[in-house]
Amino acid sequence: MDEDLHLVDRYLRGDADAVEEIVIKYERQMYAVAYRMTGDREDAKDLTQKAFVRAIEGMRGFRRESSLKTWLYQIAINVTLNHLRGNRREERELEESDAAVHPGALSDIIEKEKRECVKKGLERLSERQRLAIVLRAYEGLSCEETARVMGCSEGAVKAHYHNAVKRLREVMKEKGHEVRS
C-alpha cells in the first residue's frame, strides 16, 4: 500500500499523528505553490494553513482516484485562486530583508532583478498558464500529474505551458534580459 494512503487510513482510524506526518511531508510544496501564485509570503502561509484545514476536514471524501499529493495540490490551488479572485490588491512593498543586497555584488543584483522580472511576468499570465508553469517548472510535476491537478487534458497543459513560456520570454525581452531558447 502507498505510504500516503497508509497515512490517510491511519487518520481515518483516529490517529492524529498521521495528519502531522502529512503536513510535514507536503507543507513546503503547498506553501511554494501558494507563494508562487500570490507572490506574498504571509498570504502563502495563511493559504497553506487554510488548504490543510480543508484537506483534513475533507479527508473522508478523498476518493483515491488520484494520489494524495495531487489531491492536496488541487486544494491548495483552489484556496489560492479563490483568494486571488476575491483579493485583487496592489502588491505590498518588498520587505527590507528581501530588498537588502550586498554592496558591490552586481551579479546578485542582476539575478534578483531577473527573478523579479519573472515574478512580474507570472502575474501577467492567465491563471491557467501560471498554474501550468508553477506546477511543471517549479514543482516538477509531470504533464499527467499537472493535468489531473488542473482538471484538463495533457494537451491543454502543454498548450498552457507553451504559451506561458512564450509570454514570459516576451516579458524578459521587454525588460532587456537575455533569453536562452
Q: Supply the mean pLDDT for the chain.
A: 80
| Counted domains in the chain | 2
* Low-confidence winner among 56-65, 88-97, 98-107, 111-120 (lowest mean pLDDT): 88-97
* Same domain? 82 vs 161: no
Contact, 157 vs 132, CB < 8 A?
A: yes
Q: For residues 31-40, give the mean pLDDT.
A: 90
| Listed residues 89, 118, 142: the one ending a domain | 89
Sorting pLDDT into bands at 50, 70 and 90, what band is 178?
low
| Listed residues 89, 114, 144: the one ending a domain | 89
Tens of pLDDT along 115-141? 777 777 888 888 899 889 888 888 888
| Listed residues 57, 89, 121: the one ending a domain | 89
This prediction's pTM: 0.62
Is residue 1 classed exposed, middle or buried when 0-12, 13-18 and 19+ CB atoms within 10 A define those classes?
exposed
Q: Which domain holds residue 158?
A: 104-181
Position 137 scores a pLDDT of 86
